[in-house]
Structure 1
């Protein structure tokens, strides 16, 4: 059975067929976590002034 066949109709109407994937990152300060996320998603995740100074 394909995963699409198990989705309820309301879910397909609201979200479509795109599966939700959660990925976590862990690492020490200044080891490239934000750069990795930017490369994978195309969005910059640093929003605080201290993060932007680095």
Structure 2
């Protein structure tokens, strides 16, 4: 596995863990803040798409 692939796999692992933590405790402000930071990082890394605004 190349370094880029390892980095992407690590990002997805962290993103999954943060999403799981938020789904278990949706009212925890630090977790919600961490989720927003991680979401922005995943968008910048072009791993997830920016949600479309209504």
Same fold (TM over 0.5): no
TM-score by length of 2: 0.31
Higher helix share: 2
Which has the higher Rg, Structure 1 or Structure 2?
Answer: 1
